[in-house]
Amino acid sequence: MQLPPMDYLAPADLSEALAAKARLGDEAVWLAGGTDLLPRAKQGIAAARTVISLKHLAPELSGVRVQDGRITIGALTTLKAAGEHPELSRRLPGLRDALASIGAETLQQSVGTVGGNLCADTRCLYLNQSPAWRAGLAPCFKLGGEVCHPGGASADRCRSVCQSDGAVMLMALQAEAQVASPQGQRTVALDELYTGKGETPLALQADELLTGVSLELGDDPLGTAYHKLALRGALDYPLLSAAAALWLRDGVVSRVRVALGAVYAAPLVLIDAVAPLVGQEPTPERLAQAARKAGGHAEPFLVDNVGADLQWRKDMVRVVVARALEQAVQRAKGGA
Ligand SMILES: Cc1cc2nc3c(=O)[nH]c(=O)nc-3n(C[C@H](O)[C@H](O)[C@H](O)COP(=O)(O)OP(=O)(O)OC[C@H]3O[C@@H](n4cnc5c(N)ncnc54)[C@H](O)[C@@H]3O)c2cc1C
């Protein structure tokens, strides 16, 4: 498959880039590492007339900074550079593991970026195919049509799935995205960045660029963990994943968040299932109970569109959540 003809811009700095995007609006798309965008362009599902390369912005939008109990990652930091950053890897091993699980080290992790991972499009077994494969199908909701092939006749909206590993772990960590436009900067919680709508998964305006992501580490010892089920050990999107962030004070859970990936069009945060852990010692029985509840809470959200049996994925929610919680507890206790 070949790339369609597209105009290519490579602005020299952030303000030039923002001005170009404001001028071109939806006719242009940002190009970071290209490992999500370019395959979609070849498949004819990223139909932009112009790509705006961010390569000259790398010096200003790359790097990991730890300051005043906050960790900030520039949007153009490669997955490999972020995952191998000593401070990030020591403090957030769950995020390191999530980033290391993406694609392959030689390509996606070396050129793919953290910002591109957060903004990667939702995926679909029917949509992410060659134009020849799709030729016999009516255009779906995501392509401006009125049908969803995996959703069947009863589906009234796009049922594509967010399979971005970094997004799930960062969502569990309650991270915030920094967003720039010609009007200035704004901060948006990842909880709000993801709309949950397959047609338009991100709450970003046409003239906005994600410049970075940051999160509070908190005062209490923090344990993080990421568990992903995929068909292969590399080069594979998750069939289901769970991220846990858990803070302990004097052996008792002071705060906990769990998010699931490959469920629907956004990472799914499970609040009620894990809330009873707060104020309690995280015993194996309590963790198992939270994981069982997570399975029940997630069940209605799971979309059947990632190439694995739906019932199996439903059954596996409690397994991946239990694994993530157990490892997060271990790490919070310093046993990483
Ligand atoms: C074979 C293969 C396997 C893969 N496996 C995985 C996997 O296991 N897990 C996973 O999560 N991903 C996987 N990916 C997807 C991809 O490699 C990663 O998501 C990667 O991090 C995307 O980053 P990028 O810089 O290449 O993004 P790009 O492709 O450059 O951009 C992705 C999207 O985000 C937009 N964008 C990029 N940067 C910004 C920004 N700063 N602000 C606003 N919008 C922006 C682009 O316009 C585009 O729509 C895989 C891809 C391939 C080809």
Pick from 35, 227, 239 the residue to mutate for probing ligand 1's pocket: most ligand atoms within 8 Å of its CB.
35
Report the atom number in ligand 1 closest to the C-alpha of 236: 8
**Looking at residue 187, what is its pLDDT?**
98
> Ligand 1: which atom is nearest the Cα of residue 166?
11
State the pTM of this model.
Answer: 0.97
CA nearest neighbour of 187 among 162, 218, 216, 212: 212
Ligand 1 centre to CA of 112 (Å) is 6
Same topology, domains 1-54 and 61-118+161-332? Answer is: no
Specify the ligand 1 atom closest to the Cα of 164.
Answer: 11
Ligand 1 interacting residues, C-beta cut-off 6 A: 29-37, 39, 75, 79, 102-103, 108, 112-113, 115-117, 119-121, 163-165, 209-210, 235-237
**Cα 66 to ligand 1 centroid, rounded to whole Å:** 24
State in Å: Cα 166 to ligand 1 middle: 10
63-116 pLDDT, tens digit per residue, is: 999 999 999 999 999 999 999 999 999 999 999 999 999 999 888 899 999 999
CA distances to 47, 52, 131 from 44, rounded to whole Å, are 6, 18, 6
CA of 33 to the centre of ligand 1 (A): 7
The protein residue with its alpha carbon nearest to ligand 1, atom 19, reads 117
Give the relative orientation of helices 93-100 and 310-332 as an angle to the nearest 10 degrees: 140
Q: Which atom of ligand 1 is nearest to the CA of 37?
A: 29
Rounded distance from Cα 116 to ligand 1 centre (Å): 4
Close Cβ partners of 74 (under 8 Å, ≥ 6 residues apart) = 60, 61, 62, 63, 64, 114, 115, 211, 212
CA-closest residue to ligand 1 atom 31: 116
The Cα 146–Cα 177 span in angstroms is 32
3-state secondary structure of 333: coil
Give me ligand 1 centre to Cα 192, in Å.
19
Q: What is the fold of 61-118+161-332?
A: 3.30.465
Q: State the greatest distance between any 2 C-alpha atoms of the chain, in Å, as a whole number.
A: 61
Structure-token pair, residue 220: 């209490």
Q: What per-residue confidence (pLDDT) applies to 273?
A: 97
- What is the mean pLDDT of each successive set of 10 residues along the chain, which is 336 residues long? 92 98 97 97 91 98 96 98 97 98 91 98 96 93 95 94 98 98 98 97 98 97 98 92 98 98 98 97 98 97 96 98 98 82
Q: For residue 335, what pLDDT is reported?
A: 62
Distance in Å, CA 102 to ligand 1 centroid: 10
First-to-last alpha carbon distance for the chain, in angstroms, is 44
Q: Are 313 and 302 in contact (CB under 8 A)?
A: yes
Domain residue extents for the chain: 1-54, 61-118+161-332
Q: Whose CA is nearest to atom 21 of ligand 1?
A: 117
The domain 1-54 having CATH identifier 3.30.43.10: the answer here is yes
